[in-house]
Structure 1
Amino acid sequence: MQEKYLDRMRNGKGFIAALDQSGGSTPKALAAYGVSENDYSTEEEMFDLVHEMRTRIITAPAFDSEHILGSILFEQTMDREIESQYTGQYLAEKKGIAPFLKVDKGLAELSNGVQKMKPIDNLSETLERANQRGMFGTKMRSAIQEANKDGIQEVVDQQFEIGKKIIDAGLVPIIEPEVDIHSADKEQSEEILKQEINKHLDQLKKKERVILKLTIPTIGNHYKELIDHPQVVRVVALSGGYSRDEANAKLKDNEGLIASFSRALSENLNVSQSDEEFNAALKEAVDSIYDASVNKNS
């Protein structure tokens, strides 16, 4: 499966759907979907509801391999089932979509203008289970608030250190050092970030490959050098708080950059919609994000 999806992730047309909201962000994701905190009283009920939401998205006709290359899942979603199959296996076997697992445990406190990842306990066991559940790769997120060279270097060092362990486990890591779209020195952060990522890419062995998930840059095609690097399977963009229309417009200014949107994918979906309304809204989102990923401004 790995080689099949590796070729598709590198050369296929489409985008990665991010369905990986975890503990802290799940209430927000449910609220945006029209499910308030009054609709559940325990964490278990909350996760049941979010799995129902994700199942509705994944099983919808518009969620197909013609437009979607991969999908990122939260750990609980990976361990749950859709139509009697583990979610990742359902994605791979029924939908032809590569499944990824979010492995980070959230962000540490702000230091040197950045938030590194909290320690990832039991990473080896999680990666073993990911392989058993049919995952193709993983994803882990850090956050950059300021153009602090030391801080950004620390973020990238941590990402690649853990990324190599993920590669050794036979999975493809999505490395996500997100630059805050509201940062006063966003452009400078992106320049430092590109330099630091390049240093690590140049040190990877021929068979060590990564996917990069980055904030859409201020200057179009800023990450073209990373997109063209032989150790990079793909560079994908997070929506980062932009609306879908904003994110799509900015994405079109970047040749070779494809989407990996979360909020921008699901922003018009609601629990009260009929299946027909839901599927139509999802199709509109999928089609527009696909178009922005594939068709670029000249």
Structure 2
Amino acid sequence: MQMLDQDMSNKIAAGDGFIAALDQSGGSTPKALKGYGIEEGAWTTEEEMFGLIHQMRSRIITSPAFSGDKVIGAILFERTMDGAVDGKPTPAALIERGVVPFIKIDKGLEDEANGVQLMKPNPGLDALLARAKALGVFGTKERSVINLANAEGIAAVVAQQFEVGRQVLAAGLMPIIEPEVNIKSPERAEADAIMLAEILKNLDALPEGEQVMLKLSLPAKAGLFDPLVDHPKVLRVVALSGGFSRTEACAELAKNRGIIASFSRALLNDLRHQMTDEEFDASLGEAIDEIHAASTAKTPVAA
């Protein structure tokens, strides 16, 4: 059953599940493959490396554990979007499983200035958005990083995020705005509070009837992002695991009402290339169940 934009929007707004982040890109691909049990000597060209990561992602997407019952969305890397799963374009393969496809659109981070890392320029963005829309992709994700509670830096990050978000909205796609607060920051709680104020200011400036999504680090103070969860211009607030283990991330997530997971490492950490399909599906299913419970019932699985 083909999901239309409105169906996808409804699923993301009200769906009882979480979003899988399958969007590690060039720089983090060797690390992701190593975690999956494939060492660096296993490929000789970049093409072969991306082929191996695509096999991993295909294995996840085609697993019986990975369905729209618990995984309501998936964020793809551009190459994954352009690839095929089960002989179909990846976004179509996801939609068939009831999973709403998103794509990572940023080109990486600038060097730190004013305690933050802005996104690099992205001159080809309009063409990428048009291609994604044509493939049935529902939304996008772009990431910046906040390392310190620097008011000027944080204001610049959030303003840039919303500027790109407006470009995404103009292309008919749903932006996931991701100003990630570094969970290891010595000024994490202060950075959370400054960022919240900046996001609220930018949301209020959005035209009536327009909505964005937010992908945020879990706050140092539980419940801090309640005003964002309740905001009429926010379709959904999702959380990244940000370096927490799955158990820690699920425990933190369960303390925050209305926020669902959009985990990458915390979802994929236990999967290995060497596993049999039964072992792989069981391990993925366990991770999905745990993250689903923390996202929806708000019950972390006991450590």
TM-score range for the pair, normalised by the shorter chain length: over 0.9
| TM-score for the superposition, normalised by structure 1 | 0.98
The one of 148, 168, 175 equivalent to 2:150 is: 148
What code does the residue aligned with 2:294 have? A
Residue 36, structure 1, aligned to residue 39, structure 2 = yes
Tell me the C-alpha RMSD between the 2 structures: 1.0
Aligned partner of 2:12 in structure 1 is: 9
Q: State how 1:229-240 maps to structure 2 within 5 Å.
A: 229-240=231-242
Aligned partner of 1:95 in structure 2 is: 97
Q: State how 1:126-137 maps to structure 2 within 5 Å.
A: 126-137=128-139
Residue 294, structure 1, aligned to residue 296, structure 2 = yes
Distance 2:298 2:138 in 1: 28
The structure 1 segments of at least 4 consecutive aligned residues displaced by more than 4 Å after TM superposition are: none
Aligned partner of 1:197 in structure 2 is: 199
State the shift of 1:68 in Å: 0.8
Specify every segment of 5 or more residues in structure 2 that has no aligned partner in the other structure, as ranges: none
Q: Is the 8 A contact 2:118 2:157 kept in 1?
A: yes
The one of 261, 265, 268 equivalent to 1:266 is: 268
Give secondary structure in 2 for the equivalent of 1:24.
helix
| TM-score for the superposition, normalised by structure 2 | 0.97
Aligned partner of 2:244 in structure 1 is: 242
Aligned partner of 2:70 in structure 1 is: 67
Distance 1:261 1:296 in 2: 15
Give secondary structure in 1 for the equivalent of 2:210.
coil
State the shift of 1:85 in Å: 1.0
Distance 1:138 1:170 in 2: 11
Distance 1:95 1:241 in 2: 29
Give secondary structure in 1 for the equivalent of 2:243.
coil
Q: Is the 8 A contact 2:103 2:141 kept in 1?
A: yes
The one of 250, 259, 262 equivalent to 1:257 is: 259
Distance 1:250 1:82 in 2: 33
Total equivalences in the alignment? 297
State the shift of 1:83 in Å: 1.5
Distance 1:296 1:222 in 2: 16
What code does the residue aligned with 1:164 have? R
Residue by residue over 1:48-70, the C-alpha shift from the partner in whole angstroms, topping out at 9 and shown as x without a partner, is 00000000000000101110110
State the shift of 1:208 in Å: 1.5
Give secondary structure in 1 for the equivalent of 2:10.
helix
